[in-house]
C-alpha cells in the first residue's frame, strides 16, 4: 500500500479546497500566469490554482497522487468549459511520463511538500521546467503559530509515530531545506527566493463547523482522530483544535475567516 496516496484518498480534500479558492486565484494573479504558458500544477488537488491558471489562458496539466481529486479536477474543468486544463494521476517524486524542460512554470501549493523523498521532488520539478522558466511552491512552516502548521503539529501528536526514515512535509517550510534541496538539483543560491505569505481560509459558517469539515474530510486530521479515539483522547483532541480554530478566526461568531502563513518559494532555472 502507498501510504502517501492512501492518506489523500482517505477523505475528500475538495471540501477544504472550497474554502481556499480566493487565495488560490490571488496567488496565480501574483505569479503572472498568462495566455499560452505551459503550466504544471503539482499536487494540484481539484484545481484551486490550476483552474485560475487555465482561466488566464495557460495550458495547464494538473498532477496529483489522489484518484478522487484528479476526477474532481477533471469534472471542474469540464463544467467550466476549460479544454486547456487536464488532470492526471502521478507522484511528484517520480514524474516519469513528463519530458524534460516541458513547462514554463511549475506551481505546487501545499502539494509537492507532501510527497516522500524531497530531494527527488526538487530534482523532478527542476527537470521538467524549461531553462528560463520558474517553479513556485507554497509550503506550510513548522512551528508557525497559524492554522495549518498547528493542525499538522497537533494531529501528529495524537497519530502513531511515523515509519522509520519519514521526512516531515513541513521541513519544506524552512528556507535552509529549500535551498539544500534545490541546490542539489543544480539551482544556484541566487536563483532561489523565499518569503512569508498568507493564504486565507473562508467558510460561510462558524469556526466549529469549519473544524468539523477538517475532522470529517482532511486525511491527517481524520487519522489523528482515529488514533486518539483508540485511547479515549478524541475529546481532548477536539478541544485542542476548537481552541485553535476559535483563536485564529477573524470572521466573527457566524463566519470563518482564518489567515495562515506559508513560505512562498520562487526558483528560476537558467
Q: Are 138 and 27 in contact (CB under 8 A)?
A: yes
Q: Does 87 bind ligand SAM (CB under 6 A)?
A: no
In the complex, minimum distance from the CB of residue 49 to ligand SAM, in angstroms, rounded to a whole number: 6
- Of the candidate residues 11, 12, 19, 20, the single one contacting ligand SAM (CB under 6 A): 20
94: cell is: 517520480
The contact mask relative to ligand SAM for 44-83 (x = CB under 6 A, - = no) is xx--xx--------------xxx--x--------------
Which segment (12-20, 221-229, 233-241, 261-269) binds ligand SAM by CB under 6 A? 12-20
Helix (H, G, I), strand (E, B) or coil at 20: coil
Q: Based on the shown chain and the rule CB under 6 A, indicate whether residue 149 belongs to the binding site for ligand SAM.
A: no
Q: What are the CA-CA distances from residue 238 to residues 54, 102, 144, 187 (Å)?
A: 38, 45, 20, 43
Q: Are 251 and 123 in contact (CB under 8 A)?
A: no
User: Is the CB of 43 or the CB of 207 nearer to ligand SAM?
Assistant: 43
Q: Looking at beta carbons only, is 114 or 210 nearer to ligand SAM?
A: 114
Does position 118 bind ligand SAM by CB under 6 A?
no
Residue 147 near ligand SAM by CB under 6 A: no
Give the total residue count for the chain: 270
* Distance of alpha carbon 153 from alpha carbon 142, whole angstroms: 8
b (16+ CB within 10 A) / e for 52-85: bbbbbebbbbbbbbbebbbebbbebbeeeebebb
The CB-nearest residue to ligand SAM is 45
Asked if 91 is part of the footprint of ligand SAM (rule: CB under 6 A), the reply reads yes
Burial call 193-202: b when 16+ CB within 10 Å, e when fewer: ebeebebbbb
Q: Does 17 bind ligand SAM (CB under 6 A)?
A: yes
Task: Give contact residues for ligand SAM (rule: CB under 6 A).
Answer: 4, 8, 13, 17, 20, 43-45, 48-49, 64-66, 69, 91-93, 109-111, 114-115
Amino acid at each position: 500500500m502507498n501510504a502517501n496516496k492512501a492518506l489523500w484518498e482517505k477523505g475528500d480534500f475538495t471540501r477544504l479546497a472550497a474554502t481556499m479558492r480566493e487565495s488560490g486565484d490571488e496567488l496565480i494573479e501574483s505569479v503572472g500566469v498568462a495566455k499560452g504558458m505551459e503550466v504544471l500544477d503539482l499536487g494540484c488537488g481539484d484545481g484551486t490554482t490550476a483552474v485560475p491558471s487555465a482561466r488566464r489562458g495557460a495550458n495547464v496539466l494538473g498532477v496529483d497522487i489522489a484518484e478522487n481529486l484528479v476526477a474532481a479536477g477533471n469534472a471542474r474543468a469540464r463544467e467550466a468549459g476549460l479544454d486547456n486544463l487536464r488532470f492526471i494521476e502521478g507522484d511528484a517524486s517520480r514524474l516519469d511520463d513528463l519530458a524534460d524542460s516541458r513547462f514554463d512554470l511549475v506551481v505546487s501549493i501545499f502539494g509537492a511538500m507532501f510527497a516522500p523523498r524531497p530531494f527527488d521532488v526538487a530534482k523532478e520539478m527542476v527537470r521538467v521546467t524549461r531553462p528560463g522558466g520558474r517553479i513556485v511552491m507554497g509550503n506550510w512552516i513548522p512551528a508557525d503559530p497559524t492554522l495549518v502548521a498547528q493542525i499538522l503539529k497537533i494531529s501528529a501528536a495524537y497519530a502513531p509515530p511515523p515509519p522509520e526514515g519519514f521526512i516531515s512535509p513541513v521541513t519544506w517550510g524552512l528556507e535552509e531545506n529549500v535551498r539544500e534541496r534545490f541546490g542539489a538539483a543544480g539551482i544556484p543560491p541566487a536563483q532561489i527566493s523565499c518569503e512569508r505569505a498568507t493564504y486565507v481560509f473562508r467558510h460561510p459558517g462558524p469556526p466549529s463547523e469549519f473544524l468539523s469539515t477538517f475532522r470529517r474530510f482532511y486525511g491527517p486530521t481524520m487519522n489523528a482522530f482515529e488514533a486518539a479515539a483508540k485511547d479515549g483522547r478524541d475529546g481532548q483532541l477536539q478541544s485542542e483544535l476548537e481552541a485553535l480554530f476559535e483563536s485564529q478566526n477573524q470572521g466573527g461568531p457566524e463566519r470563518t475567516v482564518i489567515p495562515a502563513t506559508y513560505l512562498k518559494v520562487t526558483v528560476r532555472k537558467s
